[in-house]
Amino acid sequence: MNYDVIVIGAGNGGLAAAATCAKAGLSTLLLEKHNIPGGAASSFVRGRFEFDPSLHELCEVGTQDKLGTVDEIFNRIGIDIDWCSHPSTFRLIVPAKEGDTDAFVNEDGVRVTVDARMPNGYEAFAKKLDELVPGSYDSCMAAFDLSIRMNALFDATEDLSLLPGTIKDLPDVMRLVSHSLKDLLDTLGMPKKAQDIFCTYWSYMGAPASIFDSIYLTVIGSYVKFGSVVPRNRSHAISIAIDKAIRDYGGDIWYNSEVTKVITKNGKPAGVVINGEKEVHGKYIICNAVPNVAWSELFDLKDVPEKQLRMLNARKVACSLSTVYIGLNKSKEELGLKDYSIFIAPDSDSDKQYEAAQKFFNGYCIINCVNNIIPDCSPEGTTQLFLTTITFGDSMKGIKPQDYKKFKTEVAKDMIETCEKALNISITPYIEEIEIALPPTFARYLNTPWGTPYGYMLEKWDSIIPRTVQAVMDRPFDNFFFCGASQQRGDGYSSAYFTGEQAAKEIIMMENKKGGK
């Protein structure tokens, strides 16, 4: 059996890649080891509650007047998603410690050093930041101006032929890419406390202000400009819609079909083996698996390009997540939950948060009250919460199998107590359903190192622009492409859709050249 394109994995990147190839008329086969599409963009049910495996908000969904990147991709694929949005960006709470001289009691009656509810919109965000930290307005607006210009640079990376001209027009922006976010904000004169608030989203990219480069401005710029949005019918609504689009365009999707080997012929991939038995051949392969897994599990070592091995040795695996999914038998009003996205941190400084995240029980927790963005996401009179914390490296080394259940229960208890204390609310007595996913859970489901959904850490030398510029040179074979969170733009649903579409576009362009188009 032969196809033009074989796509390994029906995660977000693989779905976008398969849909784009199929729409272009290429015979396309999408293979997925699970029985449903989406990877982390799926759902599971516990009792009366339906949960998404991962935090499923997107930040590049625009409006009817101004489309965002995600809208544009979905329009090209031919799907329409019903979105829900929230009028605020995030809330950051840093509980006070004994001896903190700048502590105050907030509206919830909690002693804190930072309590920042940040709105959407550049002007509104900058004004609020200036209210919290006087003298920060100008530097904040300057940062947002740079984010707009950086997004123009991003747009050019979608068509590399436009990149030289864009770089010429934005030389200052290109220079900034080689500097850390901290260096940039220092140069803009942003006060330290304002920087801490401004950098709250660092964990969404997996690298703090001193490590991640100034491309962070495009992330926060997108969230502040467009706001946080989620699919009304959960993230599996996206996956199901793309699944239908692929089939409508004539593509094939095989579930319960794990790729166990990539077949090589004449020095490059020529097909795959499914479930250890069936062979399927293809001219091109797009792989949604993390390179660590692809090279170690799907290829013979002799067939792996040496450069790819050097890249794996040079890169750091990004952060891992632990998530507690909770269904409560009280409404958000009864519980006193007013915000959708709340970051609770032991310190306001992103570098100190990163340092704390090298181990569990670190006092860092993101709490999302889904009912504050999708009011009817759970039965009337109930509330659905996600509690998420991050760790780095083999954070569970030393935990014995027989101690795992006790350990994950302690992690969940610690996260719940962190939220209860920081928000001065009661959660524990009203828990109706609870599910706990630690790195081993995500490793088992996503098949990634330590369960990371992020791929590799975005460092200055290996950040978005360097990865994009080097993409063609770093390609292992002329007919084999990666997509997903491990690629140019790092983690995030938006990034995964982009990389999947880009891989497909390159194949389409190569086929058009062969056909003289």
* DSSP SS3 for 84: strand
The predicted structure's pLDDT at residue 40:
87
Predicted pLDDT at 461: 86
Q: What is the pLDDT of residue 229?
A: 87
At residue 182, does pLDDT exceed 60? yes
Q: Is the dihedral of CA 503, 508, 511, 516 positive or negative?
A: negative
- What average pLDDT does range 49-76 have in this prediction? 80
Q: What is the pLDDT of residues 348-374, one digit of tens each?
A: 999 999 999 999 989 999 999 999 999
pLDDT grade for 59, boundaries at 50, 70 and 90: confident
Mean pLDDT of 10-26: 97
Q: Kindly tell me if the per-residue pLDDT of 87 is higher than 90.
A: no
Residue 162 has pLDDT above 60, yes or no: no
Lowest mean pLDDT among 207-216, 344-353, 405-414: 207-216
Residue 267 exposed, middle or buried by CB count within 10 Å (0-12, 13-18, 19+): exposed
Q: Which residues 6+ apart lie within 8 Å of 67 measured at CB?
A: 75
Which range scores top for mean pLDDT: 52-66, 137-151, 276-290, 473-487? 276-290
> Within 13 Å of residue 150, how many CA atoms lie on the same side as its CB?
23
> Which letter, b or e, does each residue of 490-513 get, where b requires 16 or more Cβ atoms within 10 Å of its Cβ?
bbbbbbbbbbbbbbbbbbbeebee
The contacts of residue 229 (CB under 8 Å, 6+ apart) are 57, 58, 59, 61, 83, 84, 85, 86
Amino acid letter, 480: F
Q: Tell which wins on pLDDT, 177 or 159.
A: 177
| CB atoms near residue 327 (< 10 Å) | 22
Collapsing DSSP to helix, strand or coil, 349 comes out as coil
**What pLDDT is stored for residue 500 in this prediction?**
96
Q: How large is the average pLDDT for residues 495-505?
A: 94
Give me 460's structure tokens: 């200055």
- What pLDDT shows up at residue 251? 98
Query: Do the Cβ atoms of 342 and 474 come closer than 8 Å?
Result: no
pLDDT of residue 494: 85
Contact between residue 107 and residue 261 where contact means Cβ atoms under 8 Å apart: no
Helix (H, G, I), strand (E, B) or coil at 28: strand
pLDDT at position 64: 59
Q: What is the pLDDT of residue 436?
A: 97
First to last CA, the chain: 27
Longest pairwise C-alpha distance within the chain: 72
DSSP helix/strand/coil, 277: coil
Q: Determine the average pLDDT of the residues in 268-276.
A: 97
Pairwise CA distance, residues 206 & 227, whole Å: 20
Residue 516 has pLDDT above 60, yes or no: no
When comparing pLDDT for 516 and 43, which is higher? 43
Residue-level pLDDT at 164: 57
| Residue 105 pLDDT > 90 | yes
* Residue 176: per-residue pLDDT: 75
User: pLDDT band at residue 427, thresholds of 50, 70 and 90?
Assistant: very high
pLDDT of residue 215: 84
Q: What is the mean pLDDT of residues 429-438?
A: 97
Given a contact cutoff of 8 angstroms between Cβ atoms, the answer to whether 95 and 108 are in contact is no
Q: Which residue has the higher pLDDT, 360 or 68?
A: 360
* Token duo for residue 335: 């519980």
Say what angle helices 137-157 and 122-132 make with each other, to 10 degrees.
Answer: 140
| Phi, psi (degrees; rounded to nearest 5) at 159 | -135, 95
Name which of 443, 209, 456 is nearest 318 in CA terms: 456
Q: Is 496 left (phi over 0), alpha (psi -120 to 50) or beta?
A: alpha
Tokens standing for residue 277:
């038995």
Residues 197, 450: contact at Cβ < 8 Å? Answer: no
Alpha helices (H) along 289-369 = 291-293, 306-314, 332-335, 350-356
Is residue 153 predicted with pLDDT exceeding 90? Answer: no
Higher pLDDT pick, 330 / 487: 330
% of the chain beyond a pLDDT of 90: 75
Give the per-residue pLDDT at 158: 61
Q: Using 50, 70 and 90 to split pLDDT, how confident is the model at 414?
A: very high
Global pTM reads: 0.93
Strand blocks (E) in 27-163: 28-31, 44-46, 49-51, 83-85, 88-95, 104-105, 111-119
What pLDDT does residue 171 have? 63
Which one-letter amino acid corresponds to residue 483? C
Question: Angle 441-236-88 (CA atoms, 0-180°, nearest 5)?
Answer: 90
Nearest to 289 by CA among 59, 41, 496: 496
What does the alpha-carbon distance between residue 202 and residue 391 come to, in Å, rounded to a whole number?
Answer: 13
Q: Per-residue pLDDT tens for 184-211?
A: 999 999 999 999 999 999 999 899 999 9
Rounded distance, CA 9 to CA 481, Å? 13
Q: What tokens does 346 get?
A: 């032991």
The whole-number pLDDT of residue 248 equals 98
Mean confidence (pLDDT) of the chain: 91
Angstrom distance (rounded) from CA 439 to CA 448: 10
pLDDT over threshold 80, residue 118: yes
